[in-house]
Amino acid sequence: MTIEWDELPDIVKTFMTAIDSRDDAGALAALTDDAVVTDEGHDHHGRAAIEAWMAEAVSGSPFTYTAEFTGATATDTGVEVRQHLEGDFPGGVVDLHYRFRMDGALIGRAVIEP
């Protein structure tokens, strides 16, 4: 089922907003202690590994970008969110697909891929 930004779980909006504003602590707070985040085909298991990934790939990135929500779908286990990015990173434009699996009130799994 297609859903709008306002219909996303608050914790997903918190995570997405924190990532886009390079707020590592805010993004981490949206995840379970044993969460798994997959980015660029690599799994980051648990808070320490996810925090290290964020310090390098998110807040530590030298690139700037703008992000636009382009759609979302509710699934049996969570939500899938689509986002369009434009910036000074290689290629300059990318459409990302986020898949979130909820674990109670927090995110237990996030997969980020083109």
Write down the pLDDT at residue 58.
82
Residues in the chain, total: 114
Structural domains of the chain, ranges and CATH numbers in brackets: 2-113 (3.10.450.50)
If you search the block for the tokens 């602590």, which residue do you land on?
Answer: 25
Give the residue ranges of the chain where pLDDT is below 50: none
DSSP for 61-110, written as a single string: ----EEEEEEEEEE-SSEEEEEEEEEESSTTSEEEEEEEEEEETTEEEEE
Write down the pLDDT at residue 57.
85
Write down the pLDDT at residue 60.
83
